[in-house]
Amino acid sequence: MAANIELRHLRYFIAVAEELHFGRAAERLNMSQPPLSQQIQSLEASINAQLLVRDNRNVSLTPAGHMFLQEAHQIIAQVEAAATKAARMQQGELGEISIGFTSTTPFMHKVTLSLRQFRELYPDVSIHMHQMNTKQQIAPLQTGRLDIGIMRNTRLPDNLEHQLLFRERFMLAVYDGHPLLEYAENGVDLAMLSEYPLVFFERDVGTALYDEIISLLANAGVTPTISQEAGEAMTILGLVAAGLGVSIITESFTRMKLDGVQYLPLTNNTVYSEVWLVRHKNHHNNGAAADNLTNLLISNIFAFKEGK
């Protein structure tokens, strides 16, 4: 029988129990007194317990009524809390986001600024960051383990889509005392790199930069002599600092201040590395929180482009 109780019955009872007067309770509920009295009687019949003692002048709570009042308040509060949470989740103010990012993402000011602002705007959204190279992000984006991927331009499967965040220039990282430092002011011609060993990304790691840089050198007629390979950006720069070669990197790498490494511009470089925001085409299933972060990233990138 108790399964027939509705929230309105609880609200009716709470009003009567707090006012201890059917007339005042009816006025508070904006209804007439007889229907209110009937609803309370129906509630008592449903739970098979007397909640109120009534006489011509007074209304009082039975022991069962006192207990039921406490429980009714808790139920109403839980329902209201659940409704509030649902509304906040619908607005993207509550929930969680899983983000894939490459090793250079923490050095992209436009991205880190957006993440910091998102944390300030939506403190109740849990952000889970997963460092992966570009190609490692593809499968978890397809399965939904990642909501958003921040990666380099690459070939994407049909069920993923991308939005360009920004383009980065390629730069040259050299060690202190390297002969190419004399071109620091005017820039280094890519053709000069045929004379020097390179520290390079490992191809098996799957980083998209490997293919981009190989293509860049090929267009300049350079067949690179690769002295060392590494999978992480900081390792590559450490090998450069150790004098094991030079390396072509993107502009975001230059925010890594490492003793013994200097960054030089390239003069004949018309190729850029693109940074993408990638999502599943059915990304509406990921929730509004991911949409809010996407919109914030894009608006910040636009503001940077406009110089705001």
Cβ-in-10-Å burial (0-12, 13-18, 19+) of 179 comes to exposed
Annotated domain spans of the chain? 7-91, 97-307
**The CATH number of the domain covering residues in 97-307:** 3.40.190.290
Distance, in Å, from the CA atom of 242 to the CA atom of 261, rounded to the nearest integer, reads 9
Contact call for residues 228 and 244 (beta carbons, < 8 A): yes
Name the nearest CA neighbour of 152 among 138, 142, 139: 138
pTM: 0.73
Distance, in Å, from the CA atom of 100 to the CA atom of 137, rounded to the nearest integer, reads 6
In this prediction, residues 160-175 reach a mean pLDDT of: 91
In this predicted model, which residue has the larger pLDDT, 196 or 57? 196
Q: pLDDT tens-digit profile of 84-137? A: 877 777 777 777 888 999 888 888 888 888 888 888 888 888 889 999 888 899
Residue 172: band (very low, low, confident or very high) from pLDDT cuts 50, 70, 90: very high
Whether residue 287 is predicted with pLDDT greater than 80 in this model: the reply is no
40's tokens: 């309370």
Distance, in Å, from the CA atom of 159 to the CA atom of 142, rounded to the nearest integer, reads 7
Residue 36: band (very low, low, confident or very high) from pLDDT cuts 50, 70, 90: very high
Percent of the chain with pLDDT strictly greater than 90: 44
17's tokens: 């129990």
Distance, in Å, from the CA atom of 301 to the CA atom of 229, rounded to the nearest integer, reads 32
In this prediction, residues 235-261 reach a mean pLDDT of: 90
Contact call for residues 227 and 199 (beta carbons, < 8 A): yes
Q: pLDDT tens-digit profile of 45-99? A: 989 999 999 887 789 999 999 999 999 999 999 998 888 877 777 777 777 888 9
Whether residue 199 is predicted with pLDDT greater than 80 in this model: the reply is yes
In this predicted model, which residue has the larger pLDDT, 268 or 8? 8
Q: CA angle, corner 112, sides to 263 and 269, nearest 5?
A: 35
In this prediction, residues 182-192 reach a mean pLDDT of: 90
Q: How far is CA 185 from CA 83, 91, 163, 194, in A?
A: 62, 50, 34, 20
**Would you tell me how many other CB atoms lie within 10 Å of the CB of residue 185?**
8
Helix (H, G, I), strand (E, B) or coil at 168: strand
| Bridge partners, 175 (sequence order) | 261
Q: How far is CA 34 from CA 17, 25, 40, 45, in A?
A: 16, 11, 10, 17
Whether residue 171 is predicted with pLDDT greater than 50 in this model: the reply is yes
Whether residue 308 is predicted with pLDDT greater than 60 in this model: the reply is no
Contact call for residues 192 and 180 (beta carbons, < 8 A): yes
Helix (H, G, I), strand (E, B) or coil at 234: helix
In this prediction, residues 255-279 reach a mean pLDDT of: 87
In this predicted model, which residue has the larger pLDDT, 46 or 1? 46
Whether residue 21 is predicted with pLDDT greater than 60 in this model: the reply is yes
In this prediction, residues 220-242 reach a mean pLDDT of: 87
Contact call for residues 127 and 97 (beta carbons, < 8 A): yes
159's tokens: 């069920």
pLDDT at residue number 206: 55
Name the nearest CA neighbour of 136 among 126, 128, 146, 123: 146
Contact call for residues 172 and 264 (beta carbons, < 8 A): yes
Distance, in Å, from the CA atom of 230 to the CA atom of 239, rounded to the nearest integer, reads 9
pLDDT, the chain, mean:
86
Whether residue 241 is predicted with pLDDT greater than 90 in this model: the reply is yes
Whether residue 245 is predicted with pLDDT greater than 60 in this model: the reply is yes
**The CATH number of the domain covering residues in 7-91:** 1.10.10.10
Distance, in Å, from the CA atom of 7 to the CA atom of 76, rounded to the nearest integer, reads 7
Q: Do strands 59-61 and 95-101 pair parallel, antiparallel, or not at all (unpaired)?
A: unpaired
